Amino acid sequence: MIKIIHEGWLEGIQHLPSPFYDQRPSDATLDLLVIHGISLPANEFGGGFIDDLFLGRLDSTAHPSFSVLEGLKVSAHACIFRDGTIKQYVSFLDRAWHAGRSSYQGKIECNDYGIGIELEGCDKYPYTDAQYTSLLHLTQSIQKAYPRINNNRIVGHCDVAPERKQDPWQSFDWQRFLSQL
């Protein structure tokens, strides 16, 4: 079901505003959707650690692998959890800090003109049916509000930062997702 986006916020879902965002450049045009994958700790789901990371309150002592995340300032516009729940952290009109140093088709700094959607997942397990359904509806809502993001402008983190990132990994079924759009 397509949801309404009002002033950059998707209606009918939980909003958890992240402090990790800023304004897009005045000449930026929203024309890219970047799909990410995340699990904290790696290969584990639930626990609220993703929210904590994007909100700047992750306890770096809660798990041994979190020590490298101490002080990290990252965010996504939204995250889709294993049960299909969507949470939004940054308005689509603002620049979330999701792609890092990146480029797509010769244009650098994808955060300037892209929307970042995280999927709770990893390379070991397939994404869930509920996640594909929510991603389909979220993408359709984004495309309705920002029509320059067509199906050819939907990419993985691996496509915009291939030297550093592999997500959303081979566990994401691109053909399944794109064929439903």
* Cα 117 to Cα 135: distance, rounded to the nearest angstrom: 9
118 part of the active site: yes
Q: Which of 7, 11, 70, 118 is catalytic?
A: 118
Closest CA to 50 of 23, 86, 22: 86
- Token representation of residue 149: 């993001």
What is the secondary structure of 58-79 as a DSSP string? --TTSSGGGGGGTT-----SEE
> Torsion over CA of 104, 86, 178 and 160, rounded to 10 degrees?
10
SS3 category, 5? strand
Please report, as a single letter, which amino acid is at residue 32: L
**Tokens (6 digits) for 88:** 């939004």
Amino acid at 128: T
- Which residues make beta-bridge pairs with 128? none
**8, 92 Cβ separation under 8 angstroms:** yes
Q: Which residues have a catalytic role annotated?
A: 118
